Amino acid sequence: MDKKYIYQELFNRYIEPTKPERKKYIGVEIEMPILNLNKQAVDFDVIHKLTGAFMHAFIFKPTGYDDDGNVYSAQSESNDDILSYDCSYNNLELSFGRERNLNTIYKRFKSYYRFIREFLEPFNYTLTGMGINPYRAYNRNIPIENGRYRMLFHHLGSYKSYKLPMYFHEHPDFGTFSSASQVQLDVEYNKLPLTLNTFTKLEPIKALLFNNSVMPGEHDDLHCCRDMFWENSTHGINSHNIGMFACEFKNADDILKYISSTSIYCVERGGKYINFSPINIVDYMSCEEIEGEYFENGSYKKLSFKPDIKDLKYLRTFKFEDLTFRGTVEFRSVCCQPIKDCMCVAAFHIGLMDKIEELSDILNNDEVIYRNGYTPAELRKLFVKSKLPDFVDVDKLYKLAKRIVDLSSKGLTERGLSEEVFLTPLYERISRRTNPAKSLYDMLERGHKLEEIINYYSEI
């Protein structure tokens, strides 16, 4: 396949959608762990009953069935909201149809969340606002029985077969107990490099404010284990598929070249997902034939197939700032937050997107964390740890964080939709010099039981 043709198709998929003038919409996705407070595995039959009751109450229609005929995804015809289970029936996700006002999304979130909590209460189940399921040890951490998730877990579980000079963690099932808070925002073509460069530099500050993925007793040095889960899995075999951009983009062509350096690891043929060792997308398209494997009748079988340009839809990266085929940037680096703070992630990004030039000036001229010999990616790795690096002046650091949140508040205020109220938790965290992960450890040290913390993080 001609490389110019491949590049043009990549351009059409990722860059072209950012060119048309559009209204600025918001897309919010919130994943939340499901807990059985009896300290037993979550009974998936209870979850299937919840799904049915939810669909009836809110008039959602099934959009995805597992191999046993259970609904794992349902959508509202009136507003395009989606109830789904991400990777596992232990992890519930609410995705909201695009809106222009964050208050509208929050109103629907509260309605859905309260219904779900009330349904689960008689079973002594709950949802909570933690990035790592604190009861994961009790659960059946297995994927949803369908082609996509079975393929994904097979891919992640194959890490022992790779002889590479990289560290693989031993949690290939992390998708069953890891929860995120993600937001998608429309991005303008002429601001693509500025947006990706600037939000990349912001990642250390986001870690400072939003860390909430902890594994006490296993990784006490980390306040955001999610980064490690993605980067040190088979998703990270090609480092360009995960984490942060290690370069600055000057123009859209630079971004396109970066996308062309990422890898593909699965496709679908005849309703079957085929998994194979990650291969650069341009090299993949240039191959005459690829050998992979697929699941059938309880075992994996070899299959050779020809690459097709339509396979671009299976090119899935997990960047912290991910340019999508929708003409949006999806911000993926933030953990699920305490439920009462659930809109602070979207609010923070919305306000800053409207002030991207000013944010860029702040970060480009910063000497509090930058100009200390570390790249943005290195700083992020330092800031997801339990202890801040010694070179940081803590007073100046939190002044910088407040300056950035103030800028976000300004952007939200100018929208005139009263969305700036959702930043209140961030001001509280700055004032107390904490974040949800640090607060959790502090509560444990003060003698609070984990059950108390779960309940506190679940309040709305």
d(Cα 216, Cα 134) in Å, to the nearest integer? 9
Tell me how far CA of residue 227 lies from CA of 108, 244, 320, 342, in angstroms: 29, 10, 9, 20
Spatial CB neighbours of 378, under 8 Å, sequence gap ≥ 6: none
Tell me, yes or no, whether 296 and 324 share the same domain.
Answer: no
Flag whether 104 is in a domain: yes
- Are 78 and 144 in contact, with CB atoms under 8 Å apart? no
Amino acid 341: pLDDT: 98
Q: For residue 22, what pLDDT is reported? A: 87
Judge if 288 and 185 occupy the same domain.
no
Residue 409 lies in a domain: yes
Q: By residue range, what is the domain housing residue 364?
A: 23-144+166-240+318-458
d(C-alpha 313, C-alpha 310), whole Å: 6
**Taking a C-beta distance cutoff of 8 angstroms, is the pair 126, 37 a contact?**
yes
pLDDT in tens, 352-402: 999 999 999 999 999 999 999 999 999 999 999 999 999 999 999 999 999
Please count the helices (runs of H) and the strands (runs of E) in the chain: 15, 15
In a domain, 99, yes or no: yes
In degrees, rounded to 5, the angle at the alpha carbon of residue 233 between the alpha carbons of residues 248 and 197 is 15
Name the token pair of 123.
């079973």
pLDDT in tens, 318-359: 999 999 999 999 999 999 999 999 999 999 999 999 999 999
* Residue of 51, 97, 93, 42 whose CA lies nearest to 70: 51
Question: What are the tens digits of pLDDT across the range 388-441?
Answer: 999 999 999 999 999 999 999 999 999 999 999 999 999 999 999 999 999 999
DSSP codes joined into one string, 253-281: HHHHHHHTT-EEEEEEETTEEEEEEEEEH
96 & 210 share domain: yes
The domain tally of the chain equals 2
Beta strands per DSSP E along 156-196:
181-186
Whether residue 460 is predicted with pLDDT greater than 90 in this model: the reply is yes
Q: How far apart are CA 460 and CA 107, in angstroms?
A: 12
For residue 282, count CB atoms less than 10 angstroms from its CB and return exposed for 0-12, middle for 13-18, buried for 19 or more: middle
CA 109 to CA 305: how far, in whole Å? 43
Nearest C-alpha neighbor of 380 from the set 442, 452, 445, 319: 319
Contact criterion met (CB below 8 Å) for 347 and 428 = no
Do 443 and 327 lie in one domain? The reply is: yes
State how far the Cα of 103 lies from the Cα of 148, in Å rounded to an integer.
34
Report which of 152, 181, 118, 100 is spatially closest to residue 436, judged by C-alpha positions. Answer: 181
Do 128 and 275 fall into the same domain? no
pLDDT of residue 345: 98
Question: CA-CA distance, 262 to 282, in Å (whole number)?
Answer: 9
In-domain check, residue 353: yes
Q: How many Å separate Cα 250 from the centre of its chain?
A: 26
Residue 435 CA, distance from chain mean position = 18
Last residue of a domain, one of 281, 298, 314: 314
Provide the CA 126 distance to its chain's centre, in angstroms: 22
Domain-located, residue 279: yes
Give the domain CATH number at 89.
Answer: 3.30.590.20
Neighbour count for residue 266 (Cβ, 10 Å):
21
Asked if residue 357 and residue 328 are part of one domain, the reply reads yes
* Alpha-carbon span 180 to 66, nearest angstrom: 23
In this structure, the answer to whether residues 341 and 310 fall within a common structural domain is no
Q: Which of 238, 325, 281 is nearest to 1 (CA)?
A: 281
The CA-CA-CA angle for residues 447, 452, 457, to 5°, reads 120
Question: Residues 432, 401: one domain?
Answer: yes
What percentage of the chain has pLDDT greater than the value 90? 98
Q: Are residues 188 and 332 in the same domain?
A: yes
Q: Among 314, 348, 373, give the residue marking a domain's end.
A: 314
Please indicate, yes or no, if residue 447 is contained in any of the structural domains: yes
Three-class DSSP category at 76: strand
C-alpha 447: how far from its chain's center? 31
Same domain, 340 and 406: yes
Residue 194 placed within a domain: yes
Mean pLDDT within 444-450: 97
Q: pLDDT tens, 251-268?
A: 999 999 999 999 999 999
Question: pLDDT at residue 23 above 90?
Answer: no
| Residues paired with residue 322 on neighbouring β-strands, in sequence order | 330
pLDDT digits (tens, 9 = 90+) for 196-223: 999 999 999 999 999 999 999 999 999 9
Q: What is the mean pLDDT of the chain?
A: 97
3-state SS class at 178: strand
CA separation for the pair 326, 304 (Å, rounded): 31
Give residue 22's identity as a one-letter amino acid code.
R
d(CA 198, CA 424): 23
Instruction: Tell whether 333 is covered by a domain.
Output: yes
Distance CA 120, CA 12 (A): 45
Return d(Cα 235, Cα 278) in angstroms, integer.
8
Please state, in angstroms and rounded to a whole number, the distance separating the CA atoms of residues 262 and 258.
Answer: 7
How many CB atoms are closer than 10 A to CB 456? 17
CA angle 233, 153, 316 (to 5 degrees): 65
Q: Same domain for 273 and 401? A: no
pLDDT score of 358:
98
Average pLDDT over residues 111-135: 98
Structural element, H or E, at residue 226: helix 225-231
Is 119 in a helix, a strand, or coil? helix
Same domain? For 170 and 194 the reply is: yes
Q: What is the model's pLDDT at position 1?
A: 83
